[in-house]
C-alpha cells in the first residue's frame, strides 16, 4: 500500500501519533530479517506491527514469538481474511489492526499502551526493583562505605576505578540495609520474588540464588544432608568443591568410577557403578567404615552432568538406579544450566518435570553456574530442588545456606541471575538453538575439510557416520543434513560399542554428547588409544592459538575443548578454522618457533630458539609415547586408591601441622594430605587421605611421567592442584608417620 491509498494514509497517521507519544518507530516494506529467530533475537522492539499480506508474515510471527513470548504482536489484516490465518499464528498474535474500521487514534493508543506495558513488565522482579531504587538518589548512611561510589572519588586510583566501571555499578551496589529490595538470606521481597521466578523458569520446587559460585552451592547441598560420619556416593569425576563439601561435613565418601576412552576423555559412569550391589560392596569394603556397617545408606549421590567434555546422562534412568541406594540425588550441572530450554536435551537434565515430585522418588538437587554458560556475572549460581523422599524444609535448609552465604551479597550478581532467568524464560529456545547451530556448523566444516584434505587435519570428537532415516545407513557426518543434527538427539547419543566414543558397552542412550562442547583431536592417537607414528600434542596447538588470542577451555594430551556458549556470535568459529589452517601451513613449512611462539622462545631461548614446529611436535610426541603418559593416566584414573582416612581427618592433620612436603621421587605408599588433581583432566587422582600406592604403581608412575615432561618442556608444564613444581621436582603434601 502507498501513502496515497486510504490504508497507507491511515498507517502514516498512526506512525505519526506513535512518534508524537515518544516512541521510536522503525518501518520495513518486507519481512526480511524477521523470519528466523537468530535475527529476531536482536530486534529490540517493545511492540511489533505486521501486515498479514506480506510474504513471510506467518514465519515472522513465529520467529518473533520464539525469542520473546511477551512482546505485543499486532497484525494488520482485513476482518474477512481472519479465517485464512492458521491457528498457530492466531494463537501467537495479541491484537488485530483493522485499518479501515478503527480510527487511527484508537489503534495508535492500543499500540502505545502495549509498548508501555511491555517496557514495564520486561524487567524481572529483582532487577526491576534495583533499577527503580538506584534512580531514587537517596542519601545513604549504610554500607557499602563507598556510598554510591563517592568514596572512590577521593583518590586518583579510586577515580580511575570509578570512571572505568561507571556510576551505575556503584549506585546499584547496595547492602541488605536497603529493605525495599528484600533479603537474600531470608529470600524475601523482590530478591525472594526473583528466586521464585527462577524456580518457575528452571522447573524446580525451590530455587536458591548463590553469589559465590557453584563451589558454594555444592557445599550447601552436601552439608544440608550429610551429618558427620555419613556416607556419600560420589562421582570420581567431580569438581574440587565436592571434595571441600566432604571435608566440611566430615563425610565418608565411596566412589562411582566413570569410564575413560583412549584419548583420556572421561565418559559416563556406567549404570553398574550405581547399582545397589556395587554400592553395597563399596560400603562393605570401605576401610573407613570398618566393614561391618553395611546398613549405612549414602545420604546423597552426586553425578557431574554434563561432564566438562559434554557427556550428559539419561537423568531419569540415573535417578531410578540411584534412588534404590539413596534418598537424594545431586546433579552437578555447573556447565549445563541451558539444557531445559532445548528439546535436544529432553530427559537429560535434573529439573525435568516438577509434576514427578513424590514420596516414591528421590529428592533431586541441581547446582548450576549461571555465569558459566548463561549470561550472568561471575559467581552467579543457583541451587534447584525437586522434592522427594527427603523433604527439604526451607527453614532448615536455610540454616546451611546462611552458613555459606555472606551477609553482604553482591546485588549486581543477584540482578544478573534475575535477568538470566528472564532471558531463558522468553528466549531460551532460540538462544540455545543458536549455540547448537553454530557448533554443528563448525563440526561439519571441520569434518568436510578433513575429508577433502590430502594430508593430516584435525578431527572432531563425534560420530563419523550416522544412520539417517530418509537417507541411509552410515552417512558421513558432514553429509548429514544440518537440520537433523541440530534437532535429533539420536545423532548424539552413544550406542554400545561405538568406536568413536570409546566408552565400551554402555547401554544404548545412557549417555549423549552435547554438541555445544566441541573436542578437537590433534594427530597422535587412534580411536583405540594407540599412539600413531605422527603426532602433534595438543599443548603445542593450544600455545599457538593462545599466541593468536584464542583461548580454549581445556586440553588433554591430544584433545582440545572449545565451548559454544550463548555468547557465541555467528561465524565466530570461522576464525578458529582459519587459525587451524594457519597452524597446518606453518607446520608443513617447518616454521621456527621464534616466529610461531615468540613468547615461549623469549622466556626459554636456549631451549627453543631455532627449533622448528615439527621438531618440537616430534620431540613432545616421542616423550608422551615413551612414557605412555596417556595410558598410564588411564590406569591411574581407572582404579580407586586405598583410603587411609577421611578427607576431614586429612584436613585436620594438615591444620595441626602434622604434614610434610615430600619429593615425588621419594614417595612410596604415602597418605596425601591434600587432593592431587592433575590438569588435564581436572579430576581428582587422589583425594585427601588416600594412599599414593607403591612406587611402581600407576598413580606415582603417572605423576613421574608428568614431572619428566614438565622438566623437558618448560613453558608447557601441567598445572596440577596439590602438586608444587619446584627445583625440577614435584612436591606433594603427605601426612606424617
Q: Rule CB under 6 A: which residues touch ligand PLP? A: 213-215, 218, 239, 241, 304, 332, 334-335, 369, 381
Rounded CA gap, 297 and 293, in Å?
Answer: 9
Helical (H) or strand (E) element with 328: strand 328-332
Q: For the CB of residue 454, give the shortest distance to ligand PLP in the complex, in Å.
A: 39
Q: How far is the CB of 521 from ligand PLP (least distance, A)?
A: 22
The nearest distance, CB 547 to ligand PLP, in angstroms, is 26
Shortest Cβ 312–ligand PLP spacing (Å): 12
Specify whether the CB–CB gap between 614 and 591 falls below 8 A: no
Q: Which is nearer to ligand PLP, 112 or 243 (CB)?
A: 243
- Comparing CB distances to ligand PLP, the nearer of 404 and 625 is 404
> Shortest approach of ligand PLP to residue 514 CB, angstroms?
13
What does the block give as the cell for 61?
Answer: 510471527
- Judged on CB neighbours under 10 Å (0-12, 13-18, 19+), 698 is buried
**Exposed e or buried b for every residue in 277-294, given b needs 16+ CB within 10 A?**
ebbbebbeebebbeeeee
Closest CA to 257 of 685, 704, 672: 685
From residue 702, give the alpha-carbon distance in Å to each of 19, 52, 172, 635, 697.
71, 67, 50, 9, 9
Q: Which three cell numbers stand for residue 108?
A: 495508535
DSSP letter for 680, please. Answer: T
Shorter beta-carbon distance to ligand PLP: residue 123 or 377: 377
Nearest distance from C-beta of residue 559 to ligand PLP, angstroms: 17
Query: Is the Cβ of residue 211 or residue 432 nearer to ligand PLP in the bound state?
Result: 211
DSSP secondary structure of 381-435: EEEEEE--SS---HHHHHHHHHHHS-SS--HHHHHHHHHHHHHHHHHHHHHHHHH
> What dihedral angle (degrees, nearest 10) is formed by the CA atoms of 186, 187, 189, 194?
160
User: 381 or 519: whose CB is closer to ligand PLP?
Assistant: 381
Find the shortest distance in angstroms from Cβ 214 to ligand PLP.
3
* Contacts with 239 (C-beta within 8 Å, 6 or more apart), sequence order: 214, 215, 218, 304, 332, 334
User: Closest approach of Cβ 302 to ligand PLP, in Å?
Assistant: 10
Q: What is the dihedral of CA 643, 645, 646, 650, to 10 degrees?
A: -120
Cβ closer to ligand PLP: 187 or 239? 239
Distance CA 617, CA 62 (A): 52
Nearer to ligand PLP, 214 or 299 (CB): 214
Residue positions counted in the chain:
737
Give the CA angle between residues 559, 525, 436 to the nearest 5°: 35
In the complex with ligand PLP, the residue whose CB is nearer, 31 or 216, is 216
Q: Which three cell numbers stand for residue 63?
A: 520467529
Closer by beta carbon to ligand PLP, 204 or else 369: 369
Q: How far is CA 37 from the centre of its chain?
A: 23
3 state DSSP class of 134: helix
Q: Which residue is nearest to ligand PLP (CB)?
A: 213
Output 522 or 559, the one with its CB closest to ligand PLP. Answer: 559
Helix extents (H) in 123-155? 125-135
CB 523 within 8 A of CB 456: yes
- Measured from the CB atom, the residue of 304 and 559 that comes closer to ligand PLP is 304
215 vs 387, beta carbon nearer ligand PLP: 215
Instruction: Find the shortest distance in angstroms from Cβ 237 to ligand PLP.
Output: 8
Q: How far is the CB of 220 from ligand PLP (least distance, A)?
A: 12
Q: How far is the CB of 525 from ligand PLP (least distance, A)?
A: 25
Report the Cα 195 to chain-centroid distance in Å: 20
Q: Beta-carbon neighbour count of residue 35 at 10 Å?
A: 19
Q: How far is the CB of 201 from ligand PLP (least distance, A)?
A: 19
Instruction: Report the distance separating Cα 433 and Cα 431, nearest Å.
Output: 5
* Residue number with CB closer to ligand PLP (309 or 437): 309
Min CB(307)–ligand PLP separation in Å: 8
| Cell numbers that stand for 96 in this block | 488485530
Q: How far is the CB of 162 from ligand PLP (least distance, A)?
A: 28
CA distance 622 to 627: 9
Amino acid at each position: 500500500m502507498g501513502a496515497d491509498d486510504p490504508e497507507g494514509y491511515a498507517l502514516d497517521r498512526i506512525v505519526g501519533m506513535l512518534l508524537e507519544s515518544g516512541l521510536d518507530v522503525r518501518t520495513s516494506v518486507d519481512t526480511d530479517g524477521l523470519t528466523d529467530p537468530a535475527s529476531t533475537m536482536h530486534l529490540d522492539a517493545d511492540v511489533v506491527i505486521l501486515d498479514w499480506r506480506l510474504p513471510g508474515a506467518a514465519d515472522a510471527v513465529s520467529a518473533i514469538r520464539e525469542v520473546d513470548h511477551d512482546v505485543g504482536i499486532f497484525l494488520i489484516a482485513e476482518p474477512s481474511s481472519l479465517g485464512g490465518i492458521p491457528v498457530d499464528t492466531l494463537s501467537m498474535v495479541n491484537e488485530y489492526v483493522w485499518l479501515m474500521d478503527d480510527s487511527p487514534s484508537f489503534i495508535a493508543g492500543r499500540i502505545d499502551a502495549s509498548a508501555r506495558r511491555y517496557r514495564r513488565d520486561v524487567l524481572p522482579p529483582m532487577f526491576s526493583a534495583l533499577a527503580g531504587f538506584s534512580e531514587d538518589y537517596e542519601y545513604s548512611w549504610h554500607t557499602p562505605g563507598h556510598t554510591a561510589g563517592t568514596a572512590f572519588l577521593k583518590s586518583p586510583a579510586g577515580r580511575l576505578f570509578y570512571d572505568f566501571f561507571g556510576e551505575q555499578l556503584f549506585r546499584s551496589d547496595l547492602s541488605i540495609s536497603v529493605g525495599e529490595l528484600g533479603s537474600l538470606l531470608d529470600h524475601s521481597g523482590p530478591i525472594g520474588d526473583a528466586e521464585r521466578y527462577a524456580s518457575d523458569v528452571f522447573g524446580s520446587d525451590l530455587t536458591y540464588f548463590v553469589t559465590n559460585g557453584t563451589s558454594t552451592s555444592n557445599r550447601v547441598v552436601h552439608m544440608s544432608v550429610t551429618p558427620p560420619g555419613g556416607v556419600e556416593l560420589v562421582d570420581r569425576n567431580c569438581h574440587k568443591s565436592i571434595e571441600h563439601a566432604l571435608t566440611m561435613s566430615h563425610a565418608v565418601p565411596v566412589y562411582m568410577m566413570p569410564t575413560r576412552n583412549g584419548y583420556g576423555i572421561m565418559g559416563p559412569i556406567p549404570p553398574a557403578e550405581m547399582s545397589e550391589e556395587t554400592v553395597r560392596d563399596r560400603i562393605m569394603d570401605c576401610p573407613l567404615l570398618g566393614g561391618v556397617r553395611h546398613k549405612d545408606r549414602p545420604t546423597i549421590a552426586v553425578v557431574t552432568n554434563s561432564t566438562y567434555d559434554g557427556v550428559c546422562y539419561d537423568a531419569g534412568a540415573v535417578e531410578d538406579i540411584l534412588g534404590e541406594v539413596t534418598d537424594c540425588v545431586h546433579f552437578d550441572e555447573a556447565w549445563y544450566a541451558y539444557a531445559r530450554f532445548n528439546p535436544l536435551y529432553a530427559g537429560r537434565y535434573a529439573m525435568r518435570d516438577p509434576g514427578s515430585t513424590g514420596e516414591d522418588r528421590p529428592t533431586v538437587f541441581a547446582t548450576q553456574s549461571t555465569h558459566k554458560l548463561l549470561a550472568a556475572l561471575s559467581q552467579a549460581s543457583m541451587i534447584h530442588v525437586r522434592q522427594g523422599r527427603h523433604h527439604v524444609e526451607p527453614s532448615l535448609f536455610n540454616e546451611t545456606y546462611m552458613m555459606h552465604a555472606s551477609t553482604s551479597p553482591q546485588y549486581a550478581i543477584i540482578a544478573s541471575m534475575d535477568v538470566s532467568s528472564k532471558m531463558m524464560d522468553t528466549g531460551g529456545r532460540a538462544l540455545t538453538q543458536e549455540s547448537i547451530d553454530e557448533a554443528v556448523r563448525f563440526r561439519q566444516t571441520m569434518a568436510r575439510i578433513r575429508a577433502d584434505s590430502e594430508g593430516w587435519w584435525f578431527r572432531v570428537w563425534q560420530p563419523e557416520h550416522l544412520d539417517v532415516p530418509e537417507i541411509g545407513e552410515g552417512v558421513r557426518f558432514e553429509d548429514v543434513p544440518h537440520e537433523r543434527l541440530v534437532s535429533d538427539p539420536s545423532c548424539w547419543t552413544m550406542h554400545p560399542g561405538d568406536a568413536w566414543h570409546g566408552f565400551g558397552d554402555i547401554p544404548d542412550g545412557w549417555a549423549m554428547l552435547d554438541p555445544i562442547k566441541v573436542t578437537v583431536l590433534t594427530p597422535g592417537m587412534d580411536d583405540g588409544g594407540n599412539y600413531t607414528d605422527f603426532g602433534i600434542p595438543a599443548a603445542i596447538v593450544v600455545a599457538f592459538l593462545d599466541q593468536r588470542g584464542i583461548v580454549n577451555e581445556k586440553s588433554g594430551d591430544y584433545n582440545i575443548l572449545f565451548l559454544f556458549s550463548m555468547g557465541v556470535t555467528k561465524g565466530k568459529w570461522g576464525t578458529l578454522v582459519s587459525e587451524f589452517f594457519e597452524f597446518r601451513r606453518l607446520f608443513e613449512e617447518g616454521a621456527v618457533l621464534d616466529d610461531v611462539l615468540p613468547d615461549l622462545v623469549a622466556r626459554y631461548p636456549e631451549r627453543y630458539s631455532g627449533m622448528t614446529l615439527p621438531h618440537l611436535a616430534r620431540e613432545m610426541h616421542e616423550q608422551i609415547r615413551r612414557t605412555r603418559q596417556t595410558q598410564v593416566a588411564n590406569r591411574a584414573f581407572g582404579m580407586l586408591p586405598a583410603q587411609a582416612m577421611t578427607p576431614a581427618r586429612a584436613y585436620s592433620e594438615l591444620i595441626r601441622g602434622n604434614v610434610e612436603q615430600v619429593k615425588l621421587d621419594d614417595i612410596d605408599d604415602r597418605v596425601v594430605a591434600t587432593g592431587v588433581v592433575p590438569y588435564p583432566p581436572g579430576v581428582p587422582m587422589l583425594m585427601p587421605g588416600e594412599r599414593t600406592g607403591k612406587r611402581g604403581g600407576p598413580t606415582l608412575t603417572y605423576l613421574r611421567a608428568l614431572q619428566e615432561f614438565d622438566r623437558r618442556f618448560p613453558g608447557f608444564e601441567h598445572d596440577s592442584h596439590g602438586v608444587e613444581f619446584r627445583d625440577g621436582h614435584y612436591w606433594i603434601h603427605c601426612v606424617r608417620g
